[in-house]
Amino acid sequence: MSFDLQRILESKRAFRQRLAARPVVEKLRMLDALRERAISIRGAAARPVPEQNILREDALPDPKRPL
């Protein structure tokens, strides 16, 4: 995968300028939407994971003990 760093930086700059030009009310709506997403993600992460969905690595065998 190749990328043009100059193009990426220009794209970020343009995006920031577009965001800065938006009205305050719209920025507040965007902030509320981001906050809602963060709450739902936090809620999903707080749920306990069922035991069968956990991948566990077995301990390495003791080299002094025969198999």
Within a domain: residue 33?
A: yes
> pLDDT digit string (tens) for 11-35?
999 999 999 999 999 999 999 999 9
pLDDT bracket for residue 2 (50, 70, 90): confident
| Number of domains the chain contains | 1
Within a domain: residue 30?
A: yes
Within a domain: residue 67?
A: no
Within a domain: residue 4?
A: no
Closest CA to 44 of 36, 55, 33, 52: 36
Within a domain: residue 52?
A: no
> pLDDT digit string (tens) for 35-52?
999 998 888 776 666 666
Within a domain: residue 17?
A: yes
* Owner of token pair 């999903």: 44
Boundaries of domain holding 16: 10-44
Q: What pLDDT, on a 0 to 100 scale, did the predictor assign at position 35?
A: 95
> What are all long-range contacts of 13-22, with beta carbons under 8 Å and residues at least 24 apart?
none
Within a domain: residue 64?
A: no
pTM above 0.75, yes or no: no
Q: What pLDDT, on a 0 to 100 scale, did the predictor assign at position 3?
A: 84
